[in-house]
Copies of this chain bind each other. A is one copy, B any other.
Amino acid sequence: MPELTYREAVRDALSTAMRQDEDVFIMGEDIAEMGGSMGVTAGMLDEFGKERVRNTPISEMALAGAAIGAAMQGMRPVAEIMYEDFLTLAAEQVVNQAAKLRYMSGGQLTVPVTFRTQGGAGWSPGAQHAQQLEAWFVHIPGLKVVFASTPEDVRGLLWSAIYDDNPVVFFEHRTLYPIKGDVPQEIEPIPIGRARVHREGEDVTVIATGRLLHESLKAAEQAEGDGISVEVVDPRTLQPLDEETLVSSVKKTNRAVVAHEAVTRMGFGAEVAAVLQYQAFDWLDAPIERVGAKFAPLPFAPVMEQFVVPHAEEVLAAIKRTVGKA
């Protein structure tokens, strides 16, 4: 099994798809010579040329919309929105067009477009460069929403996103690009809509996405030292949501913590909590804990930034609260 960074894994999925398939191409701001603001597409210009590794002007609406239009004509574009914060600019096209075209046409159209984007705190980029907005897109019927947390997952899921006939909003987390992990020799598509149990446990289920998956795995390790057995599940795709895996885990452990970096209020954890309390009501021995960013824009000063977004510590505290060992 080769080892790849998360960054390389994204690149590998893109490049492999582009090698095998003329319909796949990538577009976005500074993805060509510069290789993207996070270096994800570095080197791809040389291999594929500027038609298929297409730098765009700073025009989030039009670049998203052009990707949608090309997808309507049978291409499989992967459009990069440099930071999630700028999804707010492309929102009309993603939400009113991509998500609804198939439906409004009564099933005539398919829109196989992928929107890759990334964000995340950790480097003090400030309030307009690090938001996590995945919850918005989970609210929109017609979109699929992926948030991958490991090199293996990001590669297999991006592959599936590219070949999915629906628009997919694909979230990456900035701090994960350098992490390494084993991946299968050949790309194995990971089905959209299937959660991954990263660690089995008996006492509490932690459901976590993105960076918080890794924080949760750390917290689980620490909890084990305290004799708490933690199951850690990454939904990986937020839409469709693998409710079955989440619910059956909680039915086993009788306790749940949901963790993400986005603001807790109205974050993805709210939906998970609402689903779990409904479907596992009789199994729950404690209220479902939500761990997410505190209710503030992201501040600049590192001490404040670190205070706002959650870490293993907060996950561990939540775990302990659910098992009554706080």
Contacts and interface: CB of A to CB of B under 8 A. Distances in A.
A296 interface: yes
Contact of A266 (B135, B265, B299, B300): B135
B296 A288 contact: no
B99 A88 contact: no
Contacts of A278: 273, 287-290
Contact of A277 (B89, B136, B139, B288): B288
Nearest to A276: B277
Interface residues of A, number: 50
Number of copies: 2
A299 B297 CA distance: 36
Contacts of A127: 96, 100, 103-104
Interface of A: 85-86, 88-89, 91-92, 95-96, 99-100, 103-104, 126-128, 133, 135-136, 138-142, 239, 262-263, 265-271, 273-274, 277-279, 281, 284, 286-290, 295-297, 299-300
* A-B residue pairs, 10 tightest by C-beta: A139-B266, A273-B274, A281-B287, A88-B92, A277-B277, A270-B270, A88-B91, A138-B266, A270-B274, A278-B287
Given A133-B139, A273-B277, 10 more contacts: A88-B92, A88-B96, A103-B127, A138-B266, A270-B273, A273-B278, A274-B274, A274-B290, A278-B290, A281-B287
